[in-house]
Structure 1
Amino acid sequence: MMRVLIVDDEYPARRELRAQLARFPDVQVVGEAASAEEAYELIAALNYDVVFLDIEMPGMSGMDLARRISRGPSGPRVVFTTAYPQYALEAFQVGAVGYLLKPFDEERLGELLDRIAGPRGALPAREAGGPAPAGPRREPGARAPSDAPASRTPPRIPVEKAGKTLLVHPSEIAFIYAQEEQVYVKLHSERLPCRFTLRQLDARLAPYGFLRVHRRFLVNLEKVREVVPYFKGSIGLVVADAERTEIPVSRGLTPLVRRRLGLREE
């Protein structure tokens, strides 16, 4: 039985795909998610064989989620379902096993499912460079042996200062934020502009203790010094920069942030 997770921010699209997949007796839809962030939590907690993933969604994109899946030692295969043909090359570069352009029919879906399952109805081993077979899960951001920063050099982040490009080590960064279409890297006592987007930086830094806590903020959890309670269960994070900056956490991400900080869920 092929265990499937559907990820799309539009409910009608999820409903339609679920109905299509229900026509295949060897496929079981065991989960749905309306965002890549929610899907990331589900993938960390449960075993899925295949994720049907939209690309353009609010917050983390489907492509960013696929990159996270491909970095880990285990995880589901990714099939992109999208109305945009221009992402096809990038999709297969991140290890996708399928790319379905909406609207697609049952025949096209069936051909893809047969290819994924293999000639004997069993999921084949992943190809080199693609996502690994499904296996034991871990909490989002938890370090597995092959994903541990100790096994590779953390990426330096290029920032601009006085007409020069500096390379900043992640351990120097308190948080990163977007303001008026510009991304800034906040060090202890200065902020420096960066040419990467928050999505790109999230993908680069997630294995090194950084977490997207808000659509505008990416935080180094090692720099969090205080959790401030907000209205209706929301929280803010005070980080260890010179200004003791307080960063808001999106309500939907609050449970994940609390878990990552080792706090009791409320």
Structure 2
Amino acid sequence: MLKAMIVDDEAPARSELKFLLDELGQTEVVAEAASVREAIEKLKEYPVDVMFLDVNMPEATGLQLAEALQHLKFPPAVVFVTAYSEFALEAFKVSAIDYLVKPVETERLSQAISRVREHVSLHVAAQKSERIPVEKGGKKILIGIDKIRFVMARDDYAYLQTDTDRYFSTVSLAQLEKRLDGHGFFRVHRGYLVNLSMVEEIESVSGGTLLLTLNAVDEKIPVSRRRVSALKKALGL
């Protein structure tokens, strides 16, 4: 059963959502919070699989909380439950699994929970098997960390390049950097994370920067000037 936290500044809204979740019987609400600050404190005590977030709350918004959660190595899934439909695009930019508009229908909530279960199962499998969940052609795929040549940021998302294909990830580059920590990856640029074991050629270019050629990849990867020294040290040069 999924463990959940409800974050909403209105107590009746929290009670109604908890009632619906209890009725569906797939989620155990282990914590509630009336603000972002309270949610962060309770998350330390109650690790959860999913957080149901309102958007507008005192002091900080649910969107800000969702963005902060992305910096965790293994963040909980996020489902927004709000009276405002206009924040959906922003919600998915901070890796929301779903976006529900109040009043919430039971069937729609059930669909959201199914998406969360799929997301959690995929990420648990990835953590255990040293694989990263990605998307390609509408399908969710697990690719081995050792297959990744580089990771490239695109807005709030990322693309992972292997020797044969490029895959989309709803996870940000910053979060993937944490996930890949200890696996030989290096942040060579604000927009690129490189598998050092795949570096085959280093080319000096004007301005004191570098271009990297990786195994089985045609695209050259730029190295920012401020990362050159650290990269050379990491490569033993």
TM-score, structure 1 normalization: 0.47
Report the secondary structure of 2:59's partner residue: coil
TM-score, structure 2 normalization: 0.52
Amino acid at match of 1:15: S
Aligned to 2:57: 57
Amino acid at match of 1:76: P
> Residue by residue, what CA displacement relative to the aligned partner does 1:174-205 show, whole Å, maximum 9, x if unpaired?
xxxxxxxxxxxxxxxxxxxxxxxxxxxxxxxx
* 1:28 Cα deviation after fit: 0.5
Report the secondary structure of 2:90's partner residue: helix
Match of 2:122 among 121, 124, 128: 124
Q: CA separation in 1, counterparts of 2:25 and 2:7?
A: 21
Amino acid at match of 1:24: L
Aligned to 1:103: 103
Residues 77 and 120 in structure 2, CA contact (< 8 A), matched pair in contact too: no
Q: 1:15 to 1:41 in 2, by over 3 A?
A: same
Aligned to 2:9: 9
Residues 43 and 75 in structure 1, CA contact (< 8 A), matched pair in contact too: no
Q: Map 1:25-104 to 2 at 5 A.
A: 25-104=25-104
Q: 1:152 to 1:70 in 2, by over 3 A?
A: farther
Residues 8 and 33 in structure 2, CA contact (< 8 A), matched pair in contact too: yes
Number of positions where the alignment pairs a residue of Structure 1 with one of Structure 2: 137
Cα RMSD (Å)? 2.7
Aligned to 2:128: none
> Residue by residue, what CA displacement relative to the aligned partner does 1:123-146 show, whole Å, maximum 9, x if unpaired?
322653438xxxxxxxxxxx9996
Q: CA separation in 2, counterparts of 1:73 and 1:16?
A: 31
Q: 1:130 to 1:145 in 2, by over 3 A?
A: closer
Unpaired runs of at least 5, structure 1: 132-142, 155-266
